[in-house]
Amino acid sequence: MKITDTVHIDAPTERVFEIFCDLDSAAANLSGITKLELLEGSAQLNLGTKWRETRMFAGKEATEEMWVTSYEQDSSYEVDAESRGTHYRSTYQFTPSHGGTRVDYRFTMTPLTFGARVMSVVGLLFLGVMKKALLQDLQQLKTACETATK
């Protein structure tokens, strides 16, 4: 399963990248996060940063461990997670555009086990809920970037 989106943010790429990578402010910037615990590395994302994130999803609390697997300052990063036999990857690409920043986002979910493949069919029922939550995150980060002190 894949979810993609693009958002234009009226803020410089360096500031947008910094806010997207700031784990210390993530819970304040993203209403879906109820708890975030840094496990390894810096709270300002970098290669190898690992954290545990708790969110409300479909009326239930869900906690996942995530880590940065690719990182290029002010340009892009990837975050991976594995849970219940499924590999998740979120990719963020930042490009200067029209006096602001274009953010391209891609989320992929890949079942790794037979059980996860079976459950992925059921997961299609939650595709709309998942897409709505991910796109809400992008919009809330856009707001945080555009209202941040210049």
Q: Which of 41-50, 83-92, 135-144 has the least mean pLDDT? A: 83-92
DSSP H helical ranges for the chain: 13-20, 26-29, 114-123, 127-147
Q: Interhelix angle for 13-20 vs 127-147, to 10°?
A: 130
What is the pLDDT, as a whole number, of residue 86?
A: 83
Q: 100 vs 121, which has greater pLDDT?
A: 100
Amino acid at 26: A
Instruction: Taking the CA atoms of 73, 149, 5 and 50 in sequence, report the sign of the dihedral they define.
Output: positive
For 7-65, the pLDDT digits (tens) are 999 999 999 999 999 999 999 999 989 999 999 998 999 999 999 999 877 678 889 99
Tokens of 136: 């809400």
Task: Give 63-81 pLDDT, tens digit per residue.
Answer: 999 999 999 999 999 999 9
3-class DSSP state of 129: helix
Q: What is the pTM of this model?
A: 0.88
* CB burial of residue 99 (10 Å; 0-12, 13-18, 19+): exposed
Domain count, the chain: 1
Q: Residue 84 has what pLDDT?
A: 78
Full residue range of the structural domain in which residue 108 is found: 2-147
Residue 132's CATH number: 3.30.530.20
